[in-house]
A = this chain, B = another copy of it.
């Protein structure tokens, strides 16, 4: 592609904003409730919208108990295998709920799926605001990121990429044609902090504003984005017998998400006071440092490689382009 080429992409008619996928990550829970109230008022006024926005509270039972999940982590249930596997009456609550959400927002991978899913999360890690995606070439996600970065320049924003196929992708946002999680921290789970809530609210509003501008025909200039691609997870040191952890994140690493971790840098401090060092050979960027919910998953932190990605200019497809695409799709189906 040429640098000054403008890529035309299908209209984003349906957007879903989801909160409470983890029932104790409260910014999203309270934001969706607030947006639902605000939407009622807008609907009373019968405002014409260029985009239909669906607000979803994903895991109401976990929200009610202020827990991450009831039976199993809902945000790991959206693989093709889990969504399409056999189903019994004894299935865990989140397995049942993932199918309801897939029916509502998907089906995943189908032309009926909503155009964009934005799923709201919190972390106890000092990560600022992150977009987490499965793609380093989804121009919609990357442009939304650039838009947020431009308008929220007083806080750190990062774009995280999990290099996993659509089939294997497991999170709720993978159900949409495009999708990402907005992850904001630090905030303890079960707590709502005004500053974090306000950031999330601004992020969602800027995202929806971008979608409306895109649908209305604006051209968005291209440019570069730093993409953090996840390389590996690191577990805590553990006692062989009990599997209890024997060390915490080192005080010199704690809260330093996205600061380069070099070989021999302090990694953990054992409960008896010893320092354990990073034994990798490649400097990498740590993130999700000391995330509460990952103790049980065996993740003390994740490590990423940083890469600069060139994002092309984009605009929405014209009606003619859309018609042509539809015909192309139909004739392919006929083949």
Enumerate chain A interface residues (CB-CB to B < 8 A). 30-31, 33-34, 37-38, 66, 124, 186, 188-195, 197-198, 244-245, 248-251, 254, 269, 271-273, 290, 292-293, 295-296
Indicate whether A254 sits within 8 Å of B194 (C-beta atoms), given known contacts A66-B295, A188-B189, A271-B31.
yes
Closest to A197 in B: B248
Copy number in the complex reads: 2
With a CB–CB cut-off of 8 A, which chain B residues contact A254?
Answer: 193-195
Contact of A197 among B37, B197, B271 (CB under 8 A): B271
Could you tell me the distance between the alpha carbons of A234 and B321 in the complex, rounded to whole angstroms?
59
With a CB–CB cut-off of 8 A, which chain B residues contact A124?
Answer: 188, 190-191
With a CB–CB cut-off of 8 A, which chain B residues contact A194?
Answer: 248-251, 254, 269
Indicate whether A271 sits within 8 Å of B33 (C-beta atoms), given known contacts A66-B295, A188-B292, A295-B66.
yes
Q: Could you tell me if B193 and A248 are in contact, using CB atoms closer than 8 angstroms?
A: yes
Could you tell me the distance between the alpha carbons of A249 and B245 in the complex, rounded to whole angstroms?
34
Q: Could you tell me if B195 and A251 are in contact, using CB atoms closer than 8 angstroms?
A: yes
Closest to A27 in B: B248
Least CB distance from A328 to B in Å reads: 46
In the A-B complex, the 3 residue pairs with the smallest Cβ-Cβ separation, listed nearest first, are A188-B188, A190-B292, A194-B251
Closest to A29 in B: B244
Least CB distance from A184 to B in Å reads: 14
Closest to A290 in B: B191
Q: Could you tell me if B244 and A290 are in contact, using CB atoms closer than 8 angstroms?
A: no
Least CB distance from A295 to B in Å reads: 7
Q: Could you tell me if B272 and A34 are in contact, using CB atoms closer than 8 angstroms?
A: yes
- Assuming A191-B290, A194-B250, what are 14 further A-B pairs, CB within 8 angstroms? A30-B271, A37-B272, A38-B272, A124-B188, A189-B190, A190-B292, A190-B293, A190-B295, A191-B292, A191-B295, A192-B248, A194-B254, A194-B269, A198-B273
Closest to A251 in B: B194
